[in-house]
Amino acid sequence: MDRAATRIILLRHGNTFAPGEEAVWVGARSDLALVEKGRWQAEEAGRQIHRAGLVVNSIVTGPLRRTTETATIVAAIVGFPPTSIVVDRRLTELDYGDWEGLSSAEIRRRFGDDDIDGWEARSQWPRGANWPSTKDEVLERLRNVFDEITQRPATQDNAINLVVSSNGIFRLVAETLGLPAADRKMATGNISVLGWRSGTWEVDRWNVAPASLTADDSAAAPGRR
């Protein structure tokens, strides 16, 4: 079997805001725990991976609590040893600098529309928000993570590697995969599925509910896009 035959499932962590709470930008500086719905979302991802008959080859997660909690919950459901979860700092959510802890409306009031519109519409790095890392630095770290995953031997045909991280990180992964900027966002608790073909990772599904893993192909949300 090709050593890189395993698919990758990207999983965005579950919710960190309870109903009625105002959502704000939380990046590398905010180590929030999952709320009740977030824990349910992690459980649902684990259930659907198990129901789909997929064997988890590896779990790699960012170090923030919201991602490690998500990874640990999934591992318990699919029978993956928690001690084998790899915590990788390269998957830490972006540091949003001066935007940290602000709502989108507050960011617009304080800094104007150009930077936030550029990021949300085109994944364009803000010029005036004091994000400490450059886009090229983050992209290089992510390429290295995925290059390392391709080196892991696939245990069997239905094996997958699970990568747990956050929206900003997955936006940049989507960019490296050639997805249009408008389609790069991943909702909390959602997954994306990548397949290895002809020496590269291709998108099979992006930003879909975990239940799509067990849905009929004709009913599942998007195939390749």
Q: Is residue 58 part of a domain?
A: yes
Q: Is residue 122 part of a domain?
A: no
- Domain tally, the chain: 1
CATH number at residue 152: 3.40.50.1240
Q: Quick check: 175 pLDDT over 70?
A: yes
In tens, the pLDDT along 12-23 reads: 999 999 999 999
The model's pTM: 0.92
Q: Is residue 19 part of a domain?
A: yes
Confidence of residue 150 (pLDDT cuts 50, 70, 90): confident
For CA atoms 208, 151, 90, 200, the dihedral sign is negative
Q: Quick check: 79 pLDDT over 70?
A: yes
Q: Quick check: 86 pLDDT over 50?
A: yes
pLDDT at 196: 84
Q: Is residue 199 part of a domain?
A: yes
Q: Is residue 31 part of a domain?
A: yes
Instruction: Give the residue-averaged pLDDT of 141-167.
Output: 87
Residue range(s) defining the domain that contains residue 88: 7-94+133-213
Q: What are residue 197's phi and psi, to 5 degrees?
A: -140, 135
For CA atoms 97, 102, 104, 109, the dihedral sign is negative
Beta strand ranges found along 62-169 (DSSP E) = 86-87, 159-165
Please state the three-class secondary structure of 76-107 as a single string: HHHCCCHHHCEECHHHCCCCCHHHCCCCHHHH
Q: Is residue 1 part of a domain?
A: no
Q: Quick check: 192 pLDDT over 70?
A: yes
At which residue do the structure tokens 């830490």 appear?
A: 92
Please, how many CA atoms are within 13 Å of residue 136, restricted to the half-sphere of its CB?
Answer: 0
The 3-state DSSP composition of the chain as helix, strand, coil percent (nearest 5) reads 40, 15, 45
Partners of 203 in beta bridges: 194
Q: Quick check: 220 pLDDT over 80?
A: no
Q: Is residue 108 part of a domain?
A: no
pLDDT at 155: 65
Q: Is residue 106 part of a domain?
A: no
